[in-house]
């Protein structure tokens, strides 16, 4: 499939904006979040005096299976609130009857303490160079993430790319992806149509976000399984964001 011509013939114009997901797109998901999830959930089981043998089942409830993860699992695409809800429902199914607000507070505290076990590394080499080139093309650049603002800014600042972003849209508890609200805000502020924007992400939720808003979709897929899921519903698939210029030039 000639993905380059496919994207260009859809819009018949050059793109004016690009929106990135964070985890799995800018940030190496496996090196960061898998260790955090394992440590946090193991600690949670210990605190609630549940058998450690249940850890694989609890991880699987969120889409983590050993060293792999589901791109449509809530631990991959979900907001903090979504993840907490899945964990609490799993706990309740395993006999934990504590107050939900108390459990939510415990999960947040343990998760915050587990961040040190993750390695914050970019998902591609020379990520600063990628964004320098994007900025040089005159594109407006935005982030749309299910993470909170503190987590998003820490990532962008650690990678040295925060200065390239015109807009940063984070989980506000209301307008989470795939709701197209943030895409509409982005397009409205800079006065261009959604069809002039490329969404770059690694989950079906990112695909739905693009489709719901009318933007083009470039998927990031690290293996054949994820490619098989994303390719049929995306305008193009790349291994990492350094390859985005194949479709923008």
pTM, entire model = 0.85
Tell me the β-bridge partners of 142: 19, 167
Lowest-pLDDT choice from 8-17, 72-81, 117-126, 163-172? 8-17
- For each of the domains in the chain, give its residue range(s) and CATH number, in order of start: 3-28+121-248 (3.40.50.1000), 30-117 (no CATH)
Angle at alpha carbon of residue 105, lines to 43 and 73, rounded to 5° = 65
Q: Is 29 exposed, middle or buried (0-12, 13-18, 19+ CB in 10 A)?
A: buried
Helix (H) or strand (E) holding 111: helix 100-114
Structure tokens at 2: 């000639």
Is 198 within 8 Å of 216 (Cβ atoms)? yes
List pLDDT tens digits, range 15-74: 999 999 999 999 999 999 999 999 999 999 999 999 999 999 999 999 999 888 889 889
Whole-number Å distance between alpha carbons of 237 and 247: 10
Name the band, by pLDDT with cuts 50, 70 and 90, for residue 142: very high
Name the band, by pLDDT with cuts 50, 70 and 90, for residue 173: confident
pLDDT for res 8: 38
pLDDT for res 78: 84
Whole-number Å distance between alpha carbons of 200 and 19: 6
At residue 6, the 3 state secondary structure works out as helix
The fraction of the chain above a pLDDT of 90, given in percent, is 81
Transcribe 107-160 into DSSP letters. Answer: HHHHHHHHGGGS---BSSTTHHHHHHHHHHTT-EEEEE-SS-HHHHHHHHHHHT
Tell me the β-bridge partners of 201: 219
**DSSP label of 222:** S
């Amino acid at each position: 499939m000639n993905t380059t011509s496919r994207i260009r013939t859809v819009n018949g114009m050059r793109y004016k904006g690009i929106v990135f997901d964070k985890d799995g797109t800018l940030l190496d998901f496996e090196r960061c979040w898998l260790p955090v999830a394992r440590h946090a959930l193991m600690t949670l089981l210990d605190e609630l005096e549940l058998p450690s043998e249940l850890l694989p089942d609890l991880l699987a409830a969120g889409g983590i299976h050993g060293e792999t993860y589901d791109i449509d699992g809530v631990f991959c695409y979900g907001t903090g609130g979504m993840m907490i809800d899945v964990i609490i429902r799993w706990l309740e199914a395993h006999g934990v009857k504590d107050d939900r607000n108390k459990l939510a507070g415990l999960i947040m505290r343990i998760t915050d303490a587990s961040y040190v076990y993750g390695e914050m590394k970019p998902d591609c080499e020379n990520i600063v160079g990628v964004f320098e080139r994007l900025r040089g093309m005159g594109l407006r650049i935005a982030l749309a993430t299910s993470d909170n603002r503190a987590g998003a800014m820490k990532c962008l600042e650690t990678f040295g790319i925060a200065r390239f972003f015109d807009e940063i849209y984070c989980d506000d508890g209301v307008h989470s992806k795939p709701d197209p609200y943030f895409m509409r805000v982005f397009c409205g502020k800079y006065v261009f149509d959604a069809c002039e924007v490329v969404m770059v992400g690694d989950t079906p939720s990112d695909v739905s976000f693009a489709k719901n808003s009318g933007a083009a979709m470039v998927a990031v897929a690290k293996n054949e399984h994820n490619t098989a899921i994303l390719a049929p519903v995306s305008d193009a698939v790349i291994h990492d964001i350094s390859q985005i210029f194949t479709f923008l030039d």
